Amino acid sequence: MTKHEILAKLPYGKSFLFVDELLHVDENGAKGAFTYAENLFFYEGHFKNHPVTPAVILTETMAQIGLVCLGIYLLKDNHTEHQLSIAMTSNAIDFLKPVYPGEKVVVTSEKVYFRFNKLNCKVKMENEGGELVCKGNISGMLITKSNG
C-alpha cells in the first residue's frame, strides 16, 4: 500500500484532516507532517489576540499521523472488502512548547504493540526547528466493517 493510498483512506473531512504528507510508514511506525494554516477554525476562539494551537488538536494530529495512518498500513489486507474505523482509547501526552498559527510540525510514531486490533504507539511531535513540542503514548482500536 502506498503513502497516497493510505492518505486517501483517512476517514476525515477537509476541516478536520491534520495530515499534509506521510513521509514514511512501515510495520514499526509512521512519520508525517502538517502545517497549521493561520485561518483554521479553532484559532478564532483559542486565546483572543494571541492564538495557540489547542492541545486537543495537537493530540489529534499525532493520532491521525502516528496511529491512524499506521493502522491503515497494518490492516492493508482487510481494505478491499472492509471499511476501517478507528477509535482512540487512551492517550498520555506531555506538552512542552506551544504551536502557533502557520507552524509546520512533524509527527513520528513507534509501534509499541498491535494485538487483538488494539494499536499502541509512542508518539512525538517536533517543530520545524527540530524542537520537541509534545510526546507520549496513544492507543486506539482498529475496527473493520463489511461494506454493504
- In angstroms, the CA 135 to CA 145 distance is 31
Which burial class, exposed, middle or buried, applies to 46 when counting CB atoms under 10 A from its CB (0-12, 13-18, 19+)? Answer: middle
Say what percent of the chain tops pLDDT 90: 70
On whether the CB atoms of residues 92 and 136 are closer than 8 A, the answer is yes
Helices marked H in the chain — which ranges? 3-8, 55-63, 69-74
Q: Is 7 helix (H, G, I), strand (E, B) or coil?
A: helix
- In angstroms, the CA 147 to CA 109 distance is 30
Please report, as a single letter, which amino acid is at residue 108. T
Q: What is the pLDDT of residue 60?
A: 95
- In angstroms, the CA 27 to CA 34 distance is 22
pLDDT tens per residue across span 59-99 = 999 999 999 999 999 987 655 545 667 778 889 999 999 99
On whether the CB atoms of residues 6 and 73 are closer than 8 A, the answer is yes
Where exactly are the structural domains of the chain?
A: 3-146
Least reliable range by pLDDT among 15-29, 38-52, 54-68 = 38-52
pLDDT band, residue 103 (cuts 50/70/90): very high
Q: Mind telling me the catalytic residues?
A: 46
pLDDT tens per residue across span 43-54 = 988 788 899 999
Does domain 3-146 correspond to CATH entry 3.40.50.150?
A: no
Classify each residue of 114-141 as buried b or exposed e, where b means 16 or more C-beta atoms within 10 Å of its C-beta. beeeebbbebbbbbeeeeebbbbbbbbe
Q: What mean pLDDT is reported for the chain?
A: 90
